[in-house]
Amino acid sequence: MMSFWSNQRVVVTGGAGFLGSFVVDQLRAKGCTEIVIPRSRDYDLVQMDAVQQLYRDAQPDLVIHLAARVGGIGANQANPGRFFYDNLMMGTQLIEVGRQRGLKKFVALGTICAYPKFAPIPFKEDDIWNGYPEETNAPYGLAKKMMLAQSQAYRDQYGFNSIVLFPVNLYGPRDNFDLQTSHVIPALIRKCVSAKEEGRTAMTLWGDGSPTREFLYVEDAAEGIVLAAEQYNGNLPVNLGTGEEIAIRDLAAVIAAEVGFAGQIQWDATKPNGQPRRCLDVSRAKQLFGFQAKHGLREGVKKTVRWFQANSQSIREVHF
């Protein structure tokens, strides 16, 4: 696949962020030398004129759209309007201007939050429209899902080559560890480390611990995205994940043990749980472009905890 990437000029929106930085690493490892990473201070992708300017400046052959306004349950509850509008406008405008300019390929990253709240387990791509998403993150999930509708419509009418991937919750080194905006694994790691360092005998977490989640290590996610960009050119949505689910209470125990926090874990059931269960059918990704995750949860958590402990003075925090 060296020849594929050696001739491509690639824009990676969100390329300086958590997932994007690993996608850029993968692209460089595969021989891609022309990578453009737009920064929000230079290109506000919510604004159409900035999107047009990016295409004029970068002249891409391929766009991998990873930029998103995203966070955990608390951030989604605090910013439903902003999360809906910003994510909708970024995706819609990047695809439209790409079509206008004859872009060779557009790779869009959706979200597991797009799935219906009570979708059958495991989530199959064919069920993605069969119900309304879980309420706490529905605006974000629906905004990202619109890229699938636009992608399929543009392929039908214009022959525009775009694909849409739907990953589960990601985690790993370089993640956002801000307690107000982060997802569950980085938040749990930071809380457990703080509780241990402060010598506390108990720690309180949101919800009742019963929901299940599936998690994908960030390096595996990057590999899946790059594989799809190389090899997949169809109109079907494709899940990216491991196909394995774990209850949040069990996840908390795994992280606490890895960190070395031996205190009691208490649950605040007045706080929302989010979606009851999340687990993906990941067979389509394996069938269409040979993707299969390499990291099990415990291995990935171990690597993430070690990274956090080594970089705790310079961790990434995202504020809205």
CB-based contact 243:232 (threshold 8 Å)? no
What secondary structure does DSSP assign to 86-154, as a single string? HHHHHHHHHHHHHHHTT-SEEEEE--GGGSBTTPPSSBPGGGTTSSPBPGGGHHHHHHHHHHHHHHHHH
For residue 112, give the amino acid letter: I
Q: 115 catalytic, yes or no?
A: no
Query: What is the C-alpha separation between 285 and 93, in angstroms, rounded?
Result: 27
Q: Which of 43, 55, 115, 140 is catalytic?
A: 140
Question: What residues are annotated to the active site?
Answer: 140
